[in-house]
Amino acid sequence: MKATFFALCTVPTLLSTVSALKCIYCGVLINLDSDSVYNLNAKRSTEPYCDGHAYNCASEDAACASIYVSSTKYNNAVESYFRRDCLKIQDCNVSESISSPWGKNTYSTSCCNTDGCTPVQPVLKAANKTKNGVSCPACYSEDKECKAQYSMHCTGEEKYCLDFKRVTTFQTNQIFVSGCSTKNFCKNDSDMIFLNRPMNLENHYCRKTDSNPDQGIGYFIWCDVCHDYNVNNCRDSQNLCSPHEDVCVFERRRSIYDGSDEVEITKRCGKSHECNRAGSIRSSTKIILINTTCCDESMCMTPEPILPSIDDDTNGVICPACFVPNSDRCLGRSDLKCTGNEKRCLHYMRTEKQDMYTVTESLHGCTTDEICEAGSNLVLPNGHYYKTVKTEIFCNSAITPRSESCTSLMLVATALIVFNVDI
């Protein structure tokens, strides 16, 4: 395991009294490889990064402490630091954590109470993702204090709700979150200066809040978001999804029409009913092939979707078909022989809006079960996905006709199954 240390030993300005405890003061930033886990119990001493000098604590109610803080961001980036300092006795020998849409913050302390003593190395609590039945208002912002509109499920020993903020002196870096915490993370509404990173002029504050059983539960996952016509050019940006979106979606869409063959790549936030939508839509003049894959954790690696192949073998199903670009109505339908797994008839409408630019298409024809089961959806701009796309799917249970002459009558008699837009 490889770790790089950047240390700064700073002499604090402390009040000197006869009875004040003397403690060593220093700080170490720990930069880890992405595949490494740093364990303070390992045989790797942090002592060489302290200058060995002890300084008077400002408070008589103090102990010499080792403080280990670790923050795991939504994208699994880890920031850790280790400090030696004076600490109030009430904050000694604890291990606490907070979870929010931003990620997880954990700290652990250990103490001793003689001049210049060396506390044992603190150990962080192991992560526990088991839901505990408590939910807390949750939100995240880097611009201003956020107001939680949804709650999140709490896990492990995090059975308390709080607001937490980390603000630098010059407000060059600030984080505001609400979420779940363990009991001692925020005992009082006050600052938590001992959590400050070495070499960083910042302050931490926390405030207890109450759970809100009337709020809906949000998912708060982060996904890569981008849009392009070449998968190699689809540059990802990391975005917090809307609370009701529970998966990261990777969609590939191929459109064949009037001599044009175009493939569109989209990565975005989405809903689980969109997953595994692999199928085709066929009209008299246009073919659309779609495959959508998903994963359900923040910044998860969504499998690259493989488009289904075109199957020209007829299957005995006949549907009314037509296609009109730049229109929401498609008239003049003619019978179309469905092929492959296309055993449903549908009416498909798609509207794209970008700024003042709107494109609408309407299609009647054949489709597969997967397209009908996924139903309609609405995709809003997020990150590098810059347009609003509304897709409406209306399917019916197509019947294999007994003869060509009764095809139209049988299709009219078939009941429509309507999938409403899920916003």
Burial class (CB in 10 A: 0-12, 13-18, 19+), 208: middle
With 90 as the cut, is the pLDDT of residue 31 above it?
no
Question: What are 104-107's contacts with CB under 8 Å, separation 24+?
Answer: 104/71, 104/72, 105/69, 105/70, 105/71, 105/164, 106/69, 106/70, 106/71, 106/72, 107/67, 107/68, 107/69, 107/70, 107/195
Confidence of residue 114 (pLDDT cuts 50, 70, 90): very high
Convert the pLDDT of each residue in 196-226 to its tens digit.
776 667 788 888 999 988 899 999 999 988 8
Task: Assess whether pLDDT exceeds 60 at residue 15.
Answer: no
Q: What is the mean pLDDT of residues 83-110?
A: 92
| DSSP designation for 217 | B
Sign of CA dihedral 6, 11, 12, 16: positive
Q: Are 407 and 363 in contact (CB under 8 A)?
A: no
Which pLDDT belongs to residue 103? 92
pLDDT of residue 58: 86
Q: Which of 141, 144, 187, 127 is nearest to 162 (CA)?
A: 187
- Tokens matching residue 344: 């449903």
Q: Which residue has the higher pLDDT, 10 or 32?
A: 32
Per-residue pLDDT of 371-422, as tens digits, reads 998 888 888 877 666 788 899 999 987 666 544 434 443 333 333 333 344 4
Which residue in the block uniquely carries the two structure tokens 């246009």?
286
Between CA 356 and CA 358, with CA 357 as vertex, the angle to 5 degrees is 120
Chain-centroid distance of CA 168 in Å reads 25
Weakest-pLDDT range from 58-72, 220-234, 250-264, 328-342: 220-234
Q: Tell me the average pLDDT across 105-115.
A: 93
C-alpha–C-alpha distance, residues 25 and 84, integer Å: 5
Backbone angles phi, psi at 328, to 5 degrees: -100, 10
* CA separation for the pair 404, 157 (Å, rounded): 67
Confidence of residue 233 (pLDDT cuts 50, 70, 90): confident
* CA 330 remoteness from chain centre: 39
pLDDT, mean of residues 341-365: 91
What's the pLDDT at 288?
A: 95
234 pLDDT above the threshold of 80: no
Query: Residue 323 in 3-state DSSP?
Result: strand
What is the DSSP secondary structure assignment for residue 259, as one 8-state letter? T
Which of 11-20, 86-95, 229-238, 315-324 is least confident? Answer: 11-20
